[in-house]
A = this chain, B = another copy of it.
Amino acid sequence: MEKRTAYCGEITEKFIGQEVILHGWVQKRRDLGGLIFVDLRDREGIVQVVFNPEFSLSALQVAESIRSEFVITVKGKVAARDESVINTKIATGKVEIVASEVTILNRSKTPPFYIEDGVNVSDELRLKYRYLDLRRPEMAETFKMRHTVTRVFRETLNKQGFYDIETPYLTKSTPEGARDYLVPSRVYPGSFYALPQSPQILKQLLMTAGFDKYYQIVRCFRDEDLRGDRQPEFTQVDLETSFLSKEEIQAITEEMLVNVVQEAKGIKVQTPFQRMTYHEAMARFGSDKPDVRFGLELVMISDIVRDVPFKVFTSAIEAGGVVKAINAKQAADKYSRKEIDALGEFVGTYGAKGLAWLKVEENELKGPIAKFFDEAKQVELRAALGAEAGDLLLFAADSESVVAASLGALRVKLGKELELIDESELAFLWVTDWPLFEYDEDANRYVSAHHPFTLPRAEDIPLLEEKPEKAMAEAYDIVLNGYEIGGGSLRIYQKEVQQKMFRALGFTDESAEEQFGFLMDALDYGTPPHGGIALGLDRIVMILAGKTNLRDTIAFPKTGSAVDPLTNAPGEVSLAQLDELGLNIQEKE
């Protein structure tokens, strides 16, 4: 096979007059006036090849048998296209290759779908023929970008003195966190490894070992029921450092992300990134990962409506809840009563029992609850919400968490519908000062808001025993355009603090020792103060590539039921394999 001289997508005017050799796939063949035109595609783009009997009859004859997706080698001379047939949509649109030789390297059946962007085909079919789906230019672009993103993360960390250190995938199942994928042991039948949900403890032990700065771009596994944006395996940019402050770790993270955005998108992002406490984010945006590209903030109006005679408001407040509102500027005309009712149903899925509303007119407020507001209250409300004629005011009254969830989701929905979001903007945000625990109603105990190794604020350590719900964590999440793209924290490095943490989580000292004894041991042997962060690579690529589904950023993803339609994994295995592992499959009931 002759050596390629360039990629198809690279052939621009500067090649005119040169002989080139290209390898690629036939995007399209057209026969026109005794000539054959072939659009030849490789990972870098498409170029037009023309077979002209006056130039090479033998090449033309071969070209006659060419079909879509055949793999061919073409030798030819680069020529300028006639002005009249210049294609301004592609980089190679001003030239064409006049073929002197062509070889068919491999044939193709007619693909089950067109190899082009935006083609309407089921996800199942795309995944079954993933090797065809990946040929589409937008997929090729995404994986080129993913490569760049990965490379720049690494280069930044390499320059900063981080060591790339691998941790095992066959590790131990731990009870905290999500459900583990298990791997049966053959040497010890009845025993199991677990695939890691993250290398959290092991990277902490690398700090105990003195490596000082660790990173790894590492696969992690969670056997959860999949939602649209979850996959059973996902990739984390995982780092850990010793002796650094939260602010220093955040600065390293910002440097990585700035470099990544610069190289992947050509955009210069300003640092330091915006910062906001968890409580502020929840109060203003009803979300711990707010999209700060637009306003529509939540405004607390409990004090204003406390004595308004509308029972929904007053009873919520009396029950310890709150009343909040958002002002959809100039949206009064955009939502009919029926459409507003639909918004009410929407917030219902977040627990709200209803959505009160008012439309603002020049001199009055209109809507079902207007009658409850006397003139003084109307003035007060207008002032609090900055309301002007044409605005739509939307109210939720419930517990603080239901109001936050409902109006937070409504805010995002309205932001999209009202086109308030600048899609070209990349709004990074640090969310800081997290609570250490959440109360898990099902388990009837406190669980870690992040993980059990998160350092409590020094002054809150006594709270671990008395009022865990009040304890704050040295944790920081990073948010991009409303997606959580990473979470980090300083870690516990003193044994007595870790013990208190496990106790607060409901472990006995014995059960903590049994599950986490090796970590507790390590804390006995000179573990330095340390902390780190883990970033979700798939999601970062998804946002930068302008995709809305993680599957489009993963070469061979799984479906919502964790199946790979390409290989048909998972599949059956032989009884001999099961016997070696000492396992039986349970009879179905």
Contact = CB atoms under 8 A, between A and B. Distances in A.
Contacts of A24: 210
Given A166-B555, A172-B564, A526-B70, A131 B208 contact: yes
Interface in A517-561: 518, 521-522, 524-529, 554-558, 561
Contacts of A580: 179
A8 to B, nearest CB: 10
Q: State which size class the interface on A falls in.
A: 35 or more
Nearest to A562: B187
Contacts of A119: none
A507 to B, nearest CB: 15
Nearest to A243: B23
B171 A526 contact: no
Given A167-B555, A189-B585, A525 B132 contact: yes
Contacts of A586: 189-190, 579, 582-584
A180 to B, nearest CB: 8
What copy number does this chain have within its complex? 2
Interface in A439-485: none
21 contacts: A23-B242, A42-B212, A43-B212, A130-B205, A131-B205, A134-B210, A140-B210, A143-B165, A168-B556, A169-B169, A170-B562, A171-B567, A172-B567, A179-B580, A185-B570, A188-B563, A192-B572, A193-B570, A205-B566, A518-B566, A518-B568
Contacts of A219: 166, 169, 219
Interface string A129-156: 1111011000010011011001100100
Contacts of A526: 25, 69-71, 106-108
Given A135-B209, A170-B233, 5 more contacts: A132-B209, A182-B573, A579-B586, A583-B586, A584-B584
Contacts of A147: 163-165
Contacts of A521: 129
A185 B24 CA distance: 39
A43 B210 contact: yes
